[in-house]
């Protein structure tokens, strides 16, 4: 979709009216560095507090804000991370707050370096374009049954949004649920997903656990979704009157179904952090990740201290599947990754394999957090940051995943580049869906001999299964493959959930599934 004017705001549920798109051609910048387009919250920044220097950074931001006629206020988001709200001064006339402009002025005051301060990006699922691929309007057909020619769209990647070409559409599954053993040797691998939540579904009953609270008892993300009766509306879309299904409706349920099919004996934990309209603020996403990291840290510490099971409060996670991301405005800037990168590293140090979708924009431009994976050292075309090619034996690497078509070829929509380290099926995938029926209707229908006869209703998912496309679904596919490899590892070597053992086996399964090896 086209980029908006940088001064223009855009609306999204839960994000308010402070979202903006950075236009590289008109954005004010300090220094000679180039910037790229990204979406961000104009009303706040993110600041890391990993060292005492954050006080000086706050002073720099406050002085810059004063000159622009704005006030700032810091609010702790998670230990070591805060948001910095930007707002107009009372009784003064000033331009609307713009976090990007404030950041540039602060960098100028600091002599060009202002570490660990960043925009609060907006994460789609993932990237500038929607993921999974979606069309903005129903396809108009001249006849209810047959097309005389393939649908012509403005770009080949758009075909994946058309029902019948990989777009979200109902499908019938005539077989039963994938077989699941009543017990496994050791324990079941745990795959966690942060997405739109998981609806009730026969295939997922007893497999998915939702709404696990943070260590302090506070919720993580939104209250979880529930099953939908046909014709009911999502609370994410109360103001809409067109009856169309939300762009990300069923996204989390679909991902859970992919995991269920690929590793039938895995347990799934679901946290709902993405509204079905999407997108989300980076700050909200980071807060949830910090809460989850704390649960895993507690669980690993309890393992090492051999705390009795009935006294344990942590949550063990083996794989964390993330199907969202953003494009950074200055990905060649070594300063940008001091907020998100350490968090991804901390999961790796606890033996959690973080698996991320690469994005659906047919670009080599790095999408984050996927591009925090160790870049392929065999690719000599992107050597501006050699440290990105390195891995560390004491932490499991992040795994970035691109999508393949059913025939094994690379999906045309999938992002690519040396930062995409694993590829698997992500186009025209069949999986589970919530029980929802949108406002679109069959192109033909008639009552004959007491039977209702229709063409396929393109958005009636009361059958609870669908076909869909996106790297969103390739990532959990690889995550489930890693879980399946863990099952074999547990069977052969037993289960040891102390920190060192988790990292060692994490490396073993990542090397086995994704081919990534420790750097020597």
> Quick one: pLDDT at residue 269?
98
Q: Tell whether 93 is covered by a domain.
A: yes
Write out pLDDT tens, residues 259-306. 999 999 999 999 999 888 778 899 999 999 999 999 999 999 999 999
Q: Report the number of distinct structural domains present in the chain.
A: 2
Asked if 475 and 341 sit in the same domain, the reply is: yes
Domain end residue (candidates: 101, 123, 145): 123
Q: Beta-carbon neighbour count of residue 158 at 10 Å?
A: 20
| 507 vs 154, residue with greater confidence | 507
User: Is residue 23 domain-resident?
Assistant: yes
Residue 208 lies inside a defined structural domain of this protein: yes
Banded model confidence at residue 8, pLDDT cuts 50, 70, 90: very low
The domain spanning residue 50 has which CATH number? 3.30.70
pLDDT at residue 82, rounded to an integer: 93
Q: Is the pLDDT of residue 151 over 50?
A: no
Half-sphere exposure in the Cβ direction for 322 (13 Å, CA): 33
Higher pLDDT, 187 or 145: 187
**What pLDDT score does 2 carry?**
24
Is the pLDDT higher at 13 or at 398?
Answer: 398
Residue 138 lies in a domain: no
**263 and 353 part of one domain:** yes
pLDDT reported for residue 401: 98
The mean pLDDT of 433-450, rounded to a whole number, is 90
Band (132; pLDDT cuts 50, 70, 90) = low
Residues near 106 by beta carbon (within 8 Å), at least 6 away in sequence: 57, 60, 61, 63, 64, 114, 117
What digits encode the pLDDT tens for the residues 11-36? 333 445 678 889 888 888 887 567 88
In a domain, residue 450? The reply is no
The answer to whether residues 334 and 419 belong to one domain is yes
Same domain, 163 and 53: no
Same domain? 320 vs 431:
yes
Domain boundary among 73, 108, 123: 123
* Final residue in a domain of this structure, among 105, 123, 141: 123
Residues spanned by the domain of 24: 9-123
User: Residue-wise over 1-23: b if at least 16 C-beta within 10 A, else e?
Assistant: eeeeebeeeeebbebeebbbbbe
Task: Considering only residues 164 and 342, tell me which one the structure prediction assigns the higher pLDDT.
Answer: 342
Q: Report yes or no on 219 lying in a domain.
A: yes
Same domain? For 103 and 175 the reply is no
- DSSP string computed for 477-508: HHHHHHHHHHHHHHHHH----SHHHHHHHHHH
Looking at residue 130, what is its pLDDT? 41
More confident residue, 298 or 159: 298
Question: Could you tell me if residue 322 is inside a domain?
Answer: yes
CATH number of the domain encompassing residue 290: 3.40.50.200
Q: What is the pLDDT of residue 356?
A: 97
H-helix or E-strand spanning residue 356:
strand 353-357
Q: First-to-last CA distance in the chain?
A: 43
Kindly state the average pLDDT of the residues 334-346: 80
> What is the pLDDT, as a whole number, of residue 180?
96
Sign (positive or negative) of CA dihedral 97, 99, 101, 103: positive
Q: SS3 letters for 61-123?
A: HHHHHHHHCEEEEEEEEECCEEEEEEEECCCCCCCCCCHHHHHHHHHHHCCCCCCCEEEEEEE
The confidence band for 4, taking pLDDT boundaries of 50, 70 and 90, is very low
Are residue 335 and residue 241 in the same domain, yes or no? yes
| Angstrom distance (rounded) from CA 24 to CA 156 | 26
For the chain, the average pLDDT equals 85
Residues 83 and 164 in one domain: no
Residues 434 and 310 reside in one and the same domain: yes
What is residue 228's predicted lDDT score, i.e. its pLDDT?
57
User: Which contacts qualify for 16-23: CB closer than 8 Å, 24 or more apart?
Assistant: 16/43, 18/42, 18/43, 18/44, 18/97, 19/122, 20/98, 20/100, 22/100, 22/329
- Catalytic positions, please? 195, 251, 472
pLDDT tens per residue, range 226-236: 565 555 555 55
Highest mean pLDDT of the ranges 6-20, 334-348, 378-392, 419-433? 419-433
pLDDT per residue over 52-80, tens digit each?
777 889 999 999 999 999 999 999 999 88
Same domain, yes or no, for 65 and 162? no
Identify whether residues 105 and 201 lie together within a single domain.
no
Reported confidence tier of residue 148, pLDDT bands at 50, 70, 90? very low
Model-level pTM? 0.88
Per-residue pLDDT at 430 exceeds 70? yes
DSSP, collapsed to helix, strand or coil, labels residue 370 as helix
Same domain, 325 and 191: yes
Residue 140 in this model has a pLDDT that exceeds 80: no
Q: What percent of the chain has pLDDT over 90?
A: 61
Residue 318: inside a domain:
yes
């Amino acid at each position: 979709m086209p980029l908006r004017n940088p001064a223009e705001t855009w609306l999204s549920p839960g994000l308010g009216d402070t979202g903006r798109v950075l236009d590289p051609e008109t954005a004010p910048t300090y220094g000679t560095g180039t910037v790229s387009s990204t979406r961000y919250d104009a009303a706040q920044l993110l600041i890391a507090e990993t060292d005492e220097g954050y006080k000086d950074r706050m002073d720099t931001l406050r002085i810059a804000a004063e000159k622009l006629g704005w006030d700032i206020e810091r609010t702790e988001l998670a230990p070591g991370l805060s948001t910095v709200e930007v707002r107009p001064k009372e009784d003064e006339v000033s331009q609307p707050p713009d976090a990007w402009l404030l950041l540039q002025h602060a960098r100028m005051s600091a002599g060009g370096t202002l570490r660990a301060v960043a925009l609060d990006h907006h994460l789609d699922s993932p990237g500038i374009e929607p993921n999974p691929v979606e069309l903005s309007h129903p396809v108009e057909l001249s006849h209810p049954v047959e097309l005389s020619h393939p649908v012509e769209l403005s770009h080949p990647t758009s075909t994946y949004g058309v029902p019948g070409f990989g777009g979200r559409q109902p499908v019938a599954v005539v077989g039963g649920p994938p077989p699941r053993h009543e017990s496994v040797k050791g324990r079941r691998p745990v795959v966690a997903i942060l997405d739109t939540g998981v609806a009730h579904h026969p295939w997922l009953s007893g497999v998915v656990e939702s709404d696990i609270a943070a260590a302090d008892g506070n919720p993580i993300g939104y209250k979880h979704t529930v099953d939908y009766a046909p014709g009911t509306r999502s609370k994410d879309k109360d103001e809409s009157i067109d009856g169309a299904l939300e762009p990300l409706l069923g996204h989390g349920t679909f991902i859970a179904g992919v995991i269920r099919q690929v590793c039938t004996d895995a347990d799934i934990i679901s946290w709902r952090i993405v509204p079905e309209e999407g997108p989300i603020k980076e700050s909200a996403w980071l807060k949830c990740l910090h809460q989850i990291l704390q649960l895993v840290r507690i669980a690993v510490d309890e393992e090492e201290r051999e705390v009795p099971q009935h006294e344990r409060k942590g949550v063990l996670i083996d794989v964390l599947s993330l199907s969202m991301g953003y494009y950074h405005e200055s990905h060649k800037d070594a300063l940008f990754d001091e907020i998100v990168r350490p968090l991804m590293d901390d999961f790796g140090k606890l033996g959690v394999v973080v698996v991320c979708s690469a994005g659906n924009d047919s670009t080599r431009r790095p999408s984050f957090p996927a591009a925090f994976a160790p870049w392929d050292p065999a690719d000599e075309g992107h050597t501006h940051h050699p440290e990105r090619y390195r891995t560390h034996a004491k932490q499991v690497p992040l795994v970035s995943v691109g999508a393949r078509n059913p025939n094994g070829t690379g999906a045309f929509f999938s992002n690519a580049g040396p930062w995409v380290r694993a590829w698997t099926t992500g186009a025209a995938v069949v999986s589970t869906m919530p029980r929802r029926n949108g406002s679109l209707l069959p192109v033909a229908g008639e009552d004959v001999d007491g039977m209702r006869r229709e063409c396929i209703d393109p958005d009636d998912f009361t059958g609870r299964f669908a076909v869909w496309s996106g790297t969103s679904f390739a990532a959990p596919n690889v995550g489930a493959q890693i879980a399946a490899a863990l099952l074999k590892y547990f069977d052969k070597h037993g289960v040891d959930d102390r920190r060192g053992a988790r990292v060692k086996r994490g490396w073993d399964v990542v090397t086995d599934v994704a081919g990534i090896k420790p750097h020597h």
